[in-house]
Amino acid sequence: MMHRYPSGAVPSTLIDARTRWAIAGVGPMPVIISEAAYNNGMETNAYAPVPSDVIGVYADRLLMEHVSRGNDMYWFQLLNRYPPTSTNQQDFWGLVSVPEPEPTSWQPLPAYRTFRRFLKLMNDGDAPYNPAALPISLSGASDVKSYLVGKRDGSYLLALWRDVSLWDRNTRTRLDPPAASVTVTFDVPKQVTVYKPSIRKSPYRTAREVSHSVNVSGNLVLLHIVS
């Protein structure tokens, strides 16, 4: 069990090194990331703060960086503490804005919405399940990462993302990486529905083809694959 904060950098920052250290220290066993988050206190004295909308894009990418390595990951805290005028950097790590004690004033931040959409698509119960193999190949941009999971209804979800930065933590300026194209190819036509959880809950498109071209920029893309 360990903490792994990206400190304003891309979600993959030092994950491999810290995971190796953890395994070297306790042996080959599951690594649990008990704390992981970005600080959104842009007006505070926080170290390496990140705008809330950028954190919303990083959120599911951060989760997948750990899951793809076999790590379990938990966000540090649910609530951003009140009052909003606080200058304490410890008050700005949460997923829900809490400007007042009254719950009617609470508002979900972008990362909360990203996680909710992402986890709703991924939800599949917790009973053991071994999905059938899916013949699939990816071509195109070499920096696109992928992770495939099978669901109990026979469908699959393919996560695609790039480890690109949307925020320069030194100059505190936004970055806009160009999109990269990747082609997902099957042995027979498959129905593919494209989602981007950090942007919206509704799908972007659905098509039934052998090959599907997908643009991946800073947002994680989820493909729901049906035979």
Same domain, 182 and 207: yes
On whether the pTM is more than 0.95, the answer is: no
129 within a domain of the structure (yes/no): no
Whether residue 184 contacts residue 154, with contact meaning beta carbons closer than 8 Å, is answered with no
pLDDT at 133 over 90: yes
Distance CA 188, CA 227 (A): 9
- Give the structural domain span for 65: 2-122
Same domain, 105 and 151: no
Rounded to the nearest integer, the mean pLDDT of the chain is 92
Question: pLDDT by residue (tens digit) across 89-127?
Answer: 888 899 999 888 889 999 999 999 999 999 999 999 878
Distance CA 206, CA 188 (A): 16
φ, ψ at 111 (rounded to 5°): -65, -35
pLDDT at 88: 82
Out of 62, 91, 122, pick the residue that ends a domain: 122
Question: pLDDT by residue (tens digit) across 43-85?
Answer: 887 789 999 999 999 999 999 999 999 999 998 888 877 666 7
* Maximum C-alpha span of the chain: 57
pLDDT at 82: 67
